[in-house]
Every structure is written in structure tokens, then in C-alpha cells.
């Protein structure tokens, strides 16, 4: 079965996505699948093998290699950020009728918008930090922020990832530069109250028809929060899988995450991020195309579940294609 692994994309997460894609390529079960790593970057869509590149025919998402035409049974989506995590590429594959391993157009677009997603999550009764959603070109937001929210605050691009353009703001005079930094990344931003607590994250997927939560993981950044450096520099954060929390706390986290997976109509493996303050879980965001590189969290979660990375990938593909085993 030919599997197209799409990776790259047009955001600052390009490099990380290529690593995720390569890791998927390396680990797909060779007895079942033939992997084709396809880099998608702007208008250049190419199958990459060694130093060679073959362009994708966008009319039907196929390849021609020599005289051979190659079509794909499924797309494995490894693009973090646009256009793989916000629904754009999903719309293209829907129109061609090619199945893919991640959330559909609506869920991807909704969840990629941090504030819209928080609104839906809050409607299910899950706690979220108080926040304001601001658009570029609007009136000076500072008075409204000071009126509605209390410090410390997080200022972040609303459609971002990897903590780019984000800052923690402890007092009023730091607001202006933080707003500017975030607006450099995005036309809309979110200003959110800081929640003090432990950062817990939970991977969820549907497999063999059942929604399954993977072992809860604690992220312990060695910096003030899980910023870009903490995410991608070796040793800048500890990831404890399974998290050292009471069974009851892990069970609550699983329950909330499985409920959200269904209510948001998720597909494939996603990761819900929370701050747990000892009493309540505050939903921060959901990553619908979480990192899959060797250093990423989801492969570690799968391992703690007793699944190899290969098994996780097989489960994701089989579920999407309705293959029972
Ligand atoms: N409201 C908040 N309270 C506490 N920590 C936060 C809050 N918002 C973000 N953070 C910290 O910043 C990190 C990145 O924020 P997040 O919203 O997940 O953005 P990104 O999409 O860039 O990962 C989180 O993993 C967490 O460490
Ligand atoms: Mg995050």
C-alpha cells in the first residue's frame, strides 16, 4: 500500500515537521506500507528520495517516476502549522477523495484558532484561562486588557505554534512590546491569564473503533514556561511519562481528553495540553498534528502504552482505512 507522508509546510515549524515526516518514513511497517516522503513548501510539492526530487501532480496528487504512475491509498499528515494543521490541505484531499490520518477541515480550522477552540471547549464545561481575542488594526487594546484581565498574562499569536511570538507579561509597561511581537506573527492574538500549576499533556487517538487516551505526561521546562528553547533544545525540558500524579488525577485527565476528542470530532492522534493547578485542569490548546520526531512526546507516550512507534502508525492508518486486524 502506497502511503504519502506529507511534511514541511509554510510555518516556522517547517524543520520540525520534516523531522516528524522522516521519522514516520523510517518507522512505517515495511511489510504493510510503502512510504513516500512528500515535502510541501509553498507551491513546491515534491517526493524526496535521497538527493532526488520528483514533483507531485497536483491534479490528482500522484507521482510519475519513469513510466510509472504512483497513486496513494492514504496520506499520513505530518505538517505542523499551515497548511496541514489548519484544514487547508484537508480540503484539497477531501476534494480529491484521498483519505488522511488527521482531523477534518472543520475540526482542524477550529482547533488551530486558539480562541475559537477555547470557546467550544468551555461550552463543554472544561475550564479555560480568561482571555481576550484581539485583531490587528483594532482600537488600543491596553485599557480593555487592564480592565478585564489580571497579571501575569500570556500574549500569543492566535494561530501560532512552537511558542513563537509569545511572551509572559508581568506588568502593564511590558504589554505594548508583547502585543507588537505577537502581532508580527499573526493578524489576531490572544491575551490570556497565566495559570499557575503543572503542565500536563494527554495524547488521544481512536483505534479499533475505541477512543484511547495515552499515558498522561508532565512537561517540566527548565525555563519559565515551555518556550521555543525548552521545546527544541536538548535538556531544556523534562518530559515525564507517565506523569508522577495520583491515579485519580490521571484518570480525570483521560476522561476530559477523551470527551474533548469526541466533542471536537477529532481524528488521528492529537495532544491536549493543560495546566493542572492541583484541583482543576485548565485547557490550553489541542495539537491536532503533534510532533512525531524521535525527540517528540507522542512517540514516548505510545512507548509507555506498550506500543512501538511502528504499531502506533499502523493503528492510525488502519483506523482511517477501516482495516480491522
Ligand atoms: N495561560 C497560560 N498559563 C500558563 N502557562 C501558559 C499559558 N499559556 C501558555 N503557557 C505556556 O506556554 C506554552 C506554549 O503555549 P501554547 O498556548 O501551547 O502555544 P503553542 O501553540 O505555541 O504551543 C505552554 O506549553 C505553556 O508552558
Ligand atoms: Mg502548545
* Spatial separation of the C-alpha atoms in residues 56 and 36, rounded to whole Å: 11
- Residue 196 CA, closest ligand 1 atom number: 4
* pLDDT value of residue 122: 98
Residues with C-beta less than 6 Å from any ligand 1 atom: 129, 154, 156, 160-163, 166, 192, 194-195, 199, 225-226, 273, 275, 284-285
Q: Is 83 a residue whose pLDDT tops 80?
A: yes
pLDDT one-digit tens code per residue, 169-202: 999 999 999 999 999 988 999 999 999 999 999 9
Domains of the chain, first to last: 2-102 (3.40.50.20), 109-127+196-321 (3.30.470.20), 130-193 (3.30.1490.20)
- Residue 131 CA, closest ligand 1 atom number: 1
Q: How close is the Cα of 273 to the center of ligand 2, in Å?
A: 7
- Residue 221 CA, closest ligand 1 atom number: 27
Dihedral over Cα of 160, 163, 166, 170: its sign: positive
For atom 25 of ligand 1, the residue with the nearest CA is 226
Q: Give the residue-averaged pLDDT of 258-263.
A: 98
- Residue 193 CA, closest ligand 1 atom number: 1
pLDDT band at residue 10 under the 50/70/90 scheme: very high
pLDDT band at residue 85 under the 50/70/90 scheme: very high
* pLDDT value of residue 236: 84
Instruction: Give all strands of the β-sheet with 74-77 in edge-to-edge order.
Output: 52-55, 44-49, 34-41, 2-8, 74-77
Rounded percentage of the chain residues whose pLDDT exceeds 90:
90
How far does CA 250 lie from the centroid of its chain?
A: 21
* Spatial separation of the C-alpha atoms in residues 318 and 268, rounded to whole Å: 10
Q: Is 231 a residue whose pLDDT tops 80?
A: no
For atom 13 of ligand 1, the residue with the nearest CA is 226
* Spatial separation of the C-alpha atoms in residues 299 and 291, rounded to whole Å: 9
pLDDT band at residue 232 under the 50/70/90 scheme: confident
pLDDT one-digit tens code per residue, 289-322: 999 998 999 999 999 999 999 999 999 999 999 9
* pLDDT value of residue 114: 96
Q: How close is the Cα of 95 to the center of ligand 2, in Å?
A: 30
Q: Give the residue-averaged pLDDT of 28-37.
A: 98
pLDDT one-digit tens code per residue, 109-136: 999 999 999 999 999 999 999 999 999 9
Closest ligand to Cα 114: 1
Amino acid at each position: 500500500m502506497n502511503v504519502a507522508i506529507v511534511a514541511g509546510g509554510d510555518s516556522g515549524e517547517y524543520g520540525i515537521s520534516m523531522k516528524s515526516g522522516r521519522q514516520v518514513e523510517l518507522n512505517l511497517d515495511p511489510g504493510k506500507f510503502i512510504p513516500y516522503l512528500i515535502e510541501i513548501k509553498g507551491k513546491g510539492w515534491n517526493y524526496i528520495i535521497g538527493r532526488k526530487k520528483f514533483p507531485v501532480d497536483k491534479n490528482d496528487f500522484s507521482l510519475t517516476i519513469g513510466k510509472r504512475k504512483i497513486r496513494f491509498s492514504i496520506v499520513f499528515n505530518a505538517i505542523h502549522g499551515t497548511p496541514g494543521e489548519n484544514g487547508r490541505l484537508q480540503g484539497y484531499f477531501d476534494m480529491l477523495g484521498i483519505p488522511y490520518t488527521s482531523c477534518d477541515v472543520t475540526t482542524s480550522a477550529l482547533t488551530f484558532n486558539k480562541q475559537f477552540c477555547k470557546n467550544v471547549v468551555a461550552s463543554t464545561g472544561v475550564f479555560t484561562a480568561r482571555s481576550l481575542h484581539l485583531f490587528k488594526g483594532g482600537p488600543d487594546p491596553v485599557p480593555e486588557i487592564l480592565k478585564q484581565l489580571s497579571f501575569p498574562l500570556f500574549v500569543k499569536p492566535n494561530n501560532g505554534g512552537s511558542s513563537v511570538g509569545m511572551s509572559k507579561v508581568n506588568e502593564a509597561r511590558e504589554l505594548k512590546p508583547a502585543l507588537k511581537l505577537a502581532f508580527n506573527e499573526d493578524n489576531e492574538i490572544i491575551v490570556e491569564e497565566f495559570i499557575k500549576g503543572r503542565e500536563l499533556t494527554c495524547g488521544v487517538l481512536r483505534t479499533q473503533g475505541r477512543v484511547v487516551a495515552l499515558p498522561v505526561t508532565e512537561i517540566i521546562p527548565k525555563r519559565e514556561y515551555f518556550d521555543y528553547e525548552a521545546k527544541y533544545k536538548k535538556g531544556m525540558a523534562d518530559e515525564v511519562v507517565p506523569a508522577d500524579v495520583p491515579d485519580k488525577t490521571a484518570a480525570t485527565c483521560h476522561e476530559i481528553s477523551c470527551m474533548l476528542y469526541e466533542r471536537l470530532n477529532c481524528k488521528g492522534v492529537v495532544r491536549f495540553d493543560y495546566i493542572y493547578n492541583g484541583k482543576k485542569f485548565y485547557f490550553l490548546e489541542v495539537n491536532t498534528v503533534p510532533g512525531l520526531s524521535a525527540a517528540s512526546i507522542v512517540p514516548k507516550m505510545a512507548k509507555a502504552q506498550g506500543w512501538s512507534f511502528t504499531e502506533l502508525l499502523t493503528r492510525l492508518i488502519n483506523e482511517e482505512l477501516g482495516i480491522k486486524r
